[in-house]
């Protein structure tokens, strides 16, 4: 029970900070046990501008770790955002700590050309 309450408090705290300065779109990340998803959202219009999931990757025969896959997904999201003329975003990690796959995703998005 404490873990869930801590996660919801973390999510509320992050959202309040992001909404306070909502000039740029928001890069939201969702991490399940199996996959990782990312989307860039314009909160003023309430629309998703760019979306990426792990399913969009072309799977190769050699196995990669979940962290390496998250990094690749972030890079592809950064490239898609560049094509959509989005360079600066706010990173919304939601209820997740900035660690592991979430951190790898963020670093990949930076390598792809996003600034946050």
Q: What CATH number does residue 84 fall under?
A: 3.30.420.100
Total domain count, the chain: 1
84 occurs within a structural domain: yes
Residue 60 Ramachandran class (φ > 0 left, ψ -120 to 50 alpha, else beta): beta
**Sequence-ordered list of residues with C-beta below 8 angstroms from that of 62, at least 6 positions apart, any chain:** none
Per-residue pLDDT of the chain (116 residues; tens, 9 = 90+): 677 777 788 878 777 777 656 678 999 999 999 999 999 999 888 899 999 998 888 765 578 899 999 999 999 999 999 999 999 999 999 889 999 999 999 999 999 999 98
Place of tokens 């670093």: 107
Please give the model's pTM, rounded to 2 decimal places.
0.83
In a domain, 116, yes or no: no
Residue 80 within any structural domain of the chain: yes
């Amino acid at each position: 029970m404490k873990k869930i309450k801590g996660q919801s408090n973390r999510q509320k705290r992050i959202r309040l900070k992001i909404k306070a300065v909502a000039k740029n779109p928001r890069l939201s990340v969702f991490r399940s046990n199996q996959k990782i998803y990312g989307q860039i959202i314009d909160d003023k219009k309430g629309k998703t501008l760019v979306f990426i999931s792990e399913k969009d990757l072309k799977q190769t025969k050699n196995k990669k770790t979940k962290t390496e896959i998250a990094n690749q997904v972030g890079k592809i999201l950064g490239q898609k955002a560049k094509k959509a003329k989005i360079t600066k975003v706010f990173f919304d990690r939601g209820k997740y700590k900035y660690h592991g796959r979430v951190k790898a995703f963020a670093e990949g998005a930076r390598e792809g050309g996003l600034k946050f």
